[in-house]
Amino acid sequence: MSTITSQSDVLADGREIIYFDDADTTLGKTRSADTRDLPDRPATASMRQDPLTGEWISIASARQSRAFLPPAHLDPLAPQTLTNPSEVPSNYDVAVFENRSPSFGPLLEDDNAPRGLDDLAEVGIGRTRTAVGRCEVVCFSPEHEGSFGSLSRSRARTVIEAWAARTAALSALPGIEQVFPFENRGVEIGVTLLHPHGQIYSYPYVTPRTQRLLASIDSYGPDLFADILASEQAGDRVVLAGKHWTAYVPFAARWPVEVHMLPHRHVPDFTGTTDEERNELAVLYLRLLRGVDALYDTQTPYIAAWHQAPVSVGRDDIRLMLQLTSPRRAADKLKYLAGSEAAMGAWIGDVPPEETANRVREAIARADQENPV
């Protein structure tokens, strides 16, 4: 039986690239060397603490120079050609590489690295730390346009394997406290490349959203995720279910389109999932995304966020979870975060979650007929 394989290489400026080959790949094993003449890597970004919240803000000015909606012949995520010196030297199925302009990067030049969670939890004025971490780009396909939902079942399974492998590798790096795979889709979300791709951020701290989750678990108890799943499975907001996973519109959805997905057993991150769970996820996730795209006549912008337990805290309580959100509240309307949401974090939902669940279920059924996985 064929299996998904991977191999690592180094780009011209020393960044790592990892190729993941489909189980049914038609590619050979040889990969071309990166012969570009690249400048040195930029200095690692700096973090500044907001003393009003205790949160850390990465100031990553190198991101200002990243590509913005380039034409297909200059796609930086396509395989390199003589006229396109892109980031990926060879043809590929799935490729993962260190971001050239990362929000979090290696400790290259100074010694102001975070000194653990206790150090980062202290609050003061004018506090800074180096934004130590790692940001990776996950290229889902060598094609110029598309998204996860446009992949084949085999390719979707390869991406899931890459998420699991990179979560394991990044979690083992010194100073990493949380690993976050995600996909931004659509210019309405702020996407600057049309190429089908996602990212993986590795943070030197536990993110604010996860800190609030840990506080909720402390208040409710360690069965929070199990009880949420049981409650949703017994209700009318489930949109898709299998042997190992259930997707549903949450009871208190913030966004006009919001779907969560949970595994049926406790796993803290992708590394804990089995082959059988990954195989089913490849099918269910494609069906979900194609259904979300079938809500309207044009593609749906979204953020697909895979929340994972931190590396060193909460692993027995926080379960791997997809939170897919879209600001699209009608065919020609978007929800913008204005005064209450943006300034106060006090959300107002525009669409009843039960209505959204009905619409998503109907859209999944249409997509299953028109574009079966």
Query: Distance between CA atoms of 358 and 32, rounded to whole angstroms?
Result: 49
Give residue 107's pLDDT: 81
Q: How confident is the model at residue 155 (pLDDT cuts 50, 70, 90)?
A: very high
Is domain 210-370 annotated with CATH 3.30.428.10? yes
CA–CA distances in Å: residue 196 to residues 42, 87, 186: 26, 14, 10
Residue 62: predicted pLDDT: 74
Tokens of 352: 């009843």
Q: Residue 333 pLDDT > 60, yes or no?
A: yes
In this structure, of 103-112, 146-155, 172-181, 263-272, the range with the lowest mean pLDDT score is 103-112
Which of the four pLDDT bands, split at 50, 70 and 90, describes residue 42? confident
Taking the C-alpha atoms of residue 158 and residue 151, their distance in angstroms, rounded to an integer, is 10
Bridge-based pairing of strands 128-130 and 134-139 is unpaired
Average pLDDT on 153-181 reads 97
Residue 109 pLDDT: 65
Q: Which tens digits make up the pLDDT trace of 103-115?
A: 999 987 677 999 9
For 199, phi and psi rounded to 5 degrees?
Answer: -140, 165
Asked if residue 63 has pLDDT above 90, the reply is no
- Cβ-count burial of 242 within 10 angstroms (0-12 exposed, 13-18 middle, 19+ buried)? middle
Residue 192 CB contacts under 8 Å (≥ 6 apart), including other chains: 66, 67, 68, 69
Please give the distance of CA 132 from its chain centroid, rounded to a whole number: 19
Dist CA 304 CA 181 (whole Å): 9
- Average pLDDT of 119-136? 97
Rounded to whole angstroms, the Cα distance separating 178 from 170 reads 9
Taking residues 173-186, report their average pLDDT.
96
pLDDT in tens, 44-62: 999 999 999 999 999 998 7
pLDDT tens for each residue of 201-217:
999 999 999 999 999 99
| pTM higher than the cut 0.85 | yes
Q: What is the pLDDT of residue 69?
A: 83
Give 44's DSSP letter: P
In residues, how long is the chain?
373
Q: Is 197 a catalytic residue?
A: yes
For the four alpha carbons of 190, 196, 202 and 207, in that order, the dihedral sign comes to positive
Read off the pLDDT of residues 233-244 as tens digits, 9 standing for 90 and up: 999 999 999 999
Label the pairing between strands 128-130 and 46-49: antiparallel
Q: Which of 73, 144, 197, 260 is catalytic?
A: 197
HSE, side-chain direction, 13 A CA sphere, residue 126: 0
What integer pLDDT is reported at residue 53 of this predicted model?
Answer: 97
pLDDT of the residue at 149: 98
Q: Does this chain's domain 5-205 share its CATH topology with 210-370?
A: yes
Higher per-residue confidence, 91 vs 111: 91
- pLDDT over 90, % of the chain: 92
Q: What's the confidence (pLDDT) of residue 1?
A: 55
The residue extents of the domains of the chain are: 5-205, 210-370
288-328 pLDDT tens trace: 999 999 999 999 999 999 999 999 999 999 999 999 999 99
CATH 3.40.710.10 fits 5-205, yes or no: no
